[in-house]
């Protein structure tokens, strides 16, 4: 696609070409795996045949199994042996899991029981076992409530943001509340949700509101220049990560899973920072705007998971070239091509310039 454009943009080419090659390679690998991949239970043990490797485990070499949403993992009890990974999408996965559960231990369950016993024996949590049991029970209830509130705030902000400030503020506040709860729980409530862990997690109270807040920033505000957004959003992310990591035992960076956890948290917290910065920049900007007019050259609707409405406008004020802006459905239907439209330009409370497009009848 970048090579077919009238003017080839070298940055776009250098960015999209390796991504495209990588995706094509991944698709080819997937097709090869579908054709060649096999999982076999024979009289001696298990065999997993992949595109490039074949793994085997004899029955006596199997320690147990773990399960997540995508895979069943068969764990070895012998050094030098690699675990076997079975896709949850393979035909007969339920029969495989049933066979494993009848013969081997669920290592997630064993780990959860061991962690729970560790919590109940930790005198730093409470001076008696009854108090520790109560604190763990309350932590699980609290994390469940906060996660539900996080999911509801996403639905409210994304699908029906009315009243608007209430919906967006809920997505803005809940991750902060989740962060405070984690730090005040004394390690009982954690950030990451791991299979086979007795510790409750508030991960959904971070993920869903962040996505809702970012979506509202994209849908509701026309940002003229994003240059000042990235550093401020990164700063919010760094502050969140720093507070989460200080005085905690959950993430030690001793295994690959910890790095994956931090990478995921950075991604979602950056989404939160992006949405929070734009929301505060625009909602707190109370100064008088600069007013301009532009003429509508074209109208366009983009459909998909979210329907978007666009107007192509002539140059105006700070915008020196013809450009396309997204508008509400109501405004799109009210205006016609070749008519003039109002543009109110603001500098933003956080120095992120933005603008509002309205028809000539609105002030």
The per-residue pLDDT for 308 is 83
- How far apart CA 274 and CA 3 sit, in angstroms, is 32
| Pair 216, 166: CB distance under 8 Å | no
The per-residue pLDDT for 255 is 79
| Pair 175, 149: CB distance under 8 Å | no
Closest CA to 99 of 144, 65, 125: 65
Residue 310: CA atoms inside 13 Å, Cβ hemisphere, count? 12
- How far apart CA 43 and CA 20 sit, in angstroms, is 44
| Pair 136, 188: CB distance under 8 Å | yes
What are the chain's domains?
10-109 (2.30.29), 123-283 (no CATH), 290-359 (2.40.50)
Q: What is the DSSP string of 120-137?
A: HT-TTT-SSHHHHHHHHH
The per-residue pLDDT for 361 is 60
The per-residue pLDDT for 4 is 64
pLDDT tens digits for the chain (363 residues)? 666 656 666 766 777 788 889 899 999 988 888 888 889 999 999 999 988 889 999 999 999 999 988 889 999 998 888 999 998 888 888 999 999 999 999 999 999 999 899 889 888 888 888 999 999 999 999 999 999 999 999 999 999 999 999 999 999 999 999 999 999 988 899 998 887 788 999 999 999 999 999 999 988 999 999 999 999 999 999 999 999 988 888 888 887 888 888 999 999 999 999 999 999 999 999 999 999 999 999 999 988 767 888 999 999 998 888 888 888 888 999 999 999 999 999 999 999 999 999 986 655
* Residue 230 in tokens: 């990235």
Closest CA to 354 of 296, 298, 283: 283
Q: What is the DSSP string of 262-302?
A: HHHHHHHHHHHHHHHHHHHHHHT--SPPEEEEEEEEEEEEE
Closest CA to 143 of 198, 211, 215: 198
SS3 call for 352:
coil
Residue 201: CA atoms inside 13 Å, Cβ hemisphere, count? 14
| Pair 268, 204: CB distance under 8 Å | no
């Amino acid at each position: 696609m970048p090579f077919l454009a009238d003017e080839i943009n070298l940055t776009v080419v250098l960015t999209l070409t390796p991504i495209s090659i990588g995706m094509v390679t991944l698709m080819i690998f997937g097709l090869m795996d579908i054709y060649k991949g096999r999982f076999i239970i024979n009289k001696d043990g298990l065999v997993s045949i992949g595109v490039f490797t074949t793994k085997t485990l004899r029955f006596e070499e199997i320690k147990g199994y773990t399960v997540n949403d995508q895979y069943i993992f068969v764990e070895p009890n012998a050094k030098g042996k690699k675990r076997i990974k079975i896709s949850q999408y393979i035909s007969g996965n339920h029969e495989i899991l049933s066979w494993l559960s009848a013969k081997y231990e669920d290592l997630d369950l064993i780990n959860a029981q061991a962690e729970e016993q560790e919590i109940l024996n930790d005198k730093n949590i409470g001076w008696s076992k009854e108090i520790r049991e109560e604190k763990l029970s309350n932590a699980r209830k609290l994390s469940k409530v906060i996660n539900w509130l996080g999911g509801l705030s996403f639905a409210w902000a994304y699908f029906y943001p009315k009243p608007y400030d209430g919906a967006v503020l809920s997505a803005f506040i809940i991750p902060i509340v989740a962060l405070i709860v984690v730090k005040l729980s004394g390690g009982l409530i954690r950030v990451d949700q791991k299979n086979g862990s007795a510790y409750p997690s508030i991960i959904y109270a971070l993920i869903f509101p962040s996505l809702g807040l970012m979506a509202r920033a994209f849908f509701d505000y026309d940002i003229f220049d994003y240059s000042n957004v990235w550093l401020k959003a990164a700063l919010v992310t760094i502050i969140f990560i720093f507070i989460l990591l200080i005085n905690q035992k959950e993430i030690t960076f001793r295994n690959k899973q910890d790095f994956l956890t931090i990478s995921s948290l950075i991604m979602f917290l950056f989404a939160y920072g992006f949405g929070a910065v734009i929301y505060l920049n625009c909602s707190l900007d109370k100064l008088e705007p600069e007013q301009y007019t532009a003429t509508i050259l074209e109208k366009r609707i983009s459909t998909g998971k979210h329907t978007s409405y666009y107007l192509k406008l002539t140059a105006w004020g700070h915008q020196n070239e013809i450009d396309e802006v997204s508008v509400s459905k109501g405004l799109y239907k009210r205006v016609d091509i070749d008519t003039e439209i109002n543009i109110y330009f603001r500098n933003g409370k956080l120095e992120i310039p933005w603008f509002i497009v309205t028809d000539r009848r609105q002030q």
